[in-house]
Homo-oligomer: A and B are copies of this chain.
């Protein structure tokens, strides 16, 4: 990179950067030029960062008094230069959990404690929050140095197309995406002088559309168990996960479902159960034709 502003500088300033044959002067010139270049790069990076922060504020719908809090909220631990989002995530996670619990408690006075817990999970679990992050392009502003993470995010973005609201355990959501939503909420809480109302206003908008009791679906394993109980079918799982990343569902001694996912056992299991449910329901509707 060259020092672009030299042409328009006064002669005394230009002379400072004129190389001479004296090695000490040449060395000094180089150091000065490096410093000036660095300043230019930093200044350009700073401008870009500031623009990003303004964009993020617009997306989130909250203007930070302390911009560094927002920057911290978007800094993954793999990014060496500054403090990561983890402390803000710690506080943000607990606020979000409380805000949703409170809202559901008053909104659904007749809902059982079990249903309230399932509903809260569907509205603040890793998948739901990772979806929020993708919807609002949070991943584009995330500061990290982990190439694997970028790949995982791309796979997740593709996977959620199939499930408009929630997959209930069929897809693997990158935890970092959920973390950054929680850290952002934590940052707003801290920046707004611990204002519950301000934090809820922002969080509510980010989480819309909320999953309601009517939209809530069961986890595939529970769904399969209930279906088999209702139809008096004998169900068992065959665990091939350690060697092949596979779970199989055997119903009345016949293979009726298969789930593959090498990175997480639970997802392979859920996929097998979902596959078996679909096969049972399809064979029932076939026999009714």
Contacts and interface: CB of A to CB of B under 8 A. Distances in A.
Interface of A: 86-87, 89-91, 93-95, 97-98, 100-102, 105, 112-113, 116-117, 190, 194, 196
Question: Per DSSP, are chain A's interface residues mostly helix, strand or loop, or mixed?
Answer: helix
Nearest to A102: B91
B117 A90 contact: yes
Contacts of A93: 101
Contacts of A112: 86
Contact of A113 (B86, B102, B194): B86
18 contacts: A86-B112, A87-B113, A90-B101, A90-B105, A91-B101, A91-B102, A91-B105, A94-B98, A94-B100, A94-B101, A95-B98, A95-B101, A95-B102, A97-B97, A97-B98, A98-B98, A102-B194, A105-B190
A94 B97 contact: yes
Contacts of A98: 94-95, 97-98
A160 B84 CA distance: 39
A113 B89 contact: yes
A179 B194 CA distance: 27
A23 B87 CA distance: 79
Given A95-B98, A98-B97, A98-B98, A105 B87 contact: yes
Name the 3 nearest CB pairs between A and B, nearest first.
A94-B101, A86-B113, A98-B98
Contacts of A117: 90
Contacts of A87: 105, 113, 116
A89 to B, nearest CB: 7
Nearest to A98: B98
Contacts of A100: 94
Given A97-B97, A196-B196, A116 B102 contact: no
A194 B93 CA distance: 20
Given A90-B116, A97-B97, A102-B194, 11 more contacts: A86-B113, A87-B113, A89-B113, A90-B117, A94-B97, A94-B100, A94-B101, A95-B98, A95-B101, A97-B98, A196-B196
